[in-house]
C-alpha cells in the first residue's frame, strides 16, 4: 500500500566485473553490485538480500540524508572556525581537530550505522515481498563476516555495525520479515 513512495525512481541494476565484495546504491535507484560479492551471496536468495538492502538505502533516502548531514557538519566547522578566529593558531587547530573527530565519531558514524541497520531491516522486507526467504540474510552476513574478518575498526569508529550486532539485529527482526514471505 506504499507504491507512491517509489514514484520518480529510475531503477537501474549494474554488475561490475571487480574483485571487491561490495554493492552500493545512488539516490534515485542506480544499484551496483561487484562480481567479487557473488561468491559470498552464493545463490539467488543471497543476492536478493543484497539488492533489497541497497534498494532500502534508496527508498529511505539515506544518500540524501548523508549529504544533508555532511553539509551541516561543514557549516558547524565554519561557525567554529569563525568563533576561534582570534585565538592563537595552536588553539584554533586544537578546536578544529576536536570538532572534526567529535562530529565524525559522535554524529556521522552513528548515523551511518543506523542507516545500515535500517537498510538491513527494510531490505529483508523487500526480499521477502519479492518471494525470497529473508532467513538467507543470516548465513549471507555470516559469510560476509568470514570473508572480511581482518583488520576491522571497532564499531564506534565504523560506518557499519559490527558483524555480531548486525546479525543479532537481523535475527531480532526476522519474525516481522517472515510475515512478508510467501514461498
DSSP-derived secondary structure for 24-66: EEETTTEEEEEGGGHHHH-SHHHHHHHHHHHHHHHHTTHHHHH
Rounded-to-integer distance, Cα 24 and Cα 104, Å: 21
Closest CA to 23 of 120, 156, 111, 94: 120
Cell of 151: 583488520
Task: For the chain, report the end-to-end CA distance as a whole number of angstroms.
Answer: 20
| Position with higher pLDDT, 77 vs 64 | 77
Residue with more model confidence, 130 or 1: 130
d(CA 8, CA 3): 11
Residue-wise pLDDT tens digits, 116-158 = 999 999 999 999 999 999 999 999 999 999 887 667 777 877 8
DSSP string of 109-139?
A: HHHHHHHHHHHHHHHHHHHHHTT--GGGHHH
Catalytic residue among 54, 65, 90, 164: 54
Give tens-digit pLDDT for 21-45: 999 998 889 999 999 999 999 999 9
Collapsed DSSP state (helix, strand, coil) of residue 92:
helix
Pairwise CA distance, residues 30 & 54, whole Å: 9
Q: State what percent of residues in the chain have pLDDT above 70.
A: 92
Cα–Cα dist 53/119, whole Å: 5
Q: Is 54 a catalytic residue?
A: yes
Amino acid at each position: 500500500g506504499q507504491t507512491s513512495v517509489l514514484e520518480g525512481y529510475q531503477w537501474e541494476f549494474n554488475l561490475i566485473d571487480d574483485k571487491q565484495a561490495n554493492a552500493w546504491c545512488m539516490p534515485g535507484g542506480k544499484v551496483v553490485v561487484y562480481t567479487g560479492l557473488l561468491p559470498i551471496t552464493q545463490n539467488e536468495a543471497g543476492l536478493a538480500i543484497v539488492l533489497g538492502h541497497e534498494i532500502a538505502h534508496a527508498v529511505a533516502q539515506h544518500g540524501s540524508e548523508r549529504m544533508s548531514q555532511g553539509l551541516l557538519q561543514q557549516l558547524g566547522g565554519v561557525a567554529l572556525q569563525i568563533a576561534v578566529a582570534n585565538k592563537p593558531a595552536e588553539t584554533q587547530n586544537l578546536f578544529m581537530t576536536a570538532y572534526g573527530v567529535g562530529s565524525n565519531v559522535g554524529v556521522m558514524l552513528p548515523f551511518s550505522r543506523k542507516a545500515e541497520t535500517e537498510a538491513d531491516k527494510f531490505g529483508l522486507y523487500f526480499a521477502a515481498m519479492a518471494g525470497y526467504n529473508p532467513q538467507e540474510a543470516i548465513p549471507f552476513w555470516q559469510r560476509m563476516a568470514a570473508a572480511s574478518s581482518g583488520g576491522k575498526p571497532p564499531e564506534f569508529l565504523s560506518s557499519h555495525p559490527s558483524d555480531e550486532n548486525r546479525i543479532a539485529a537481523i535475527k531480532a527482526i526476522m519474525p516481522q520479515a517472515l510475515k512478508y514471505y510467501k514461498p
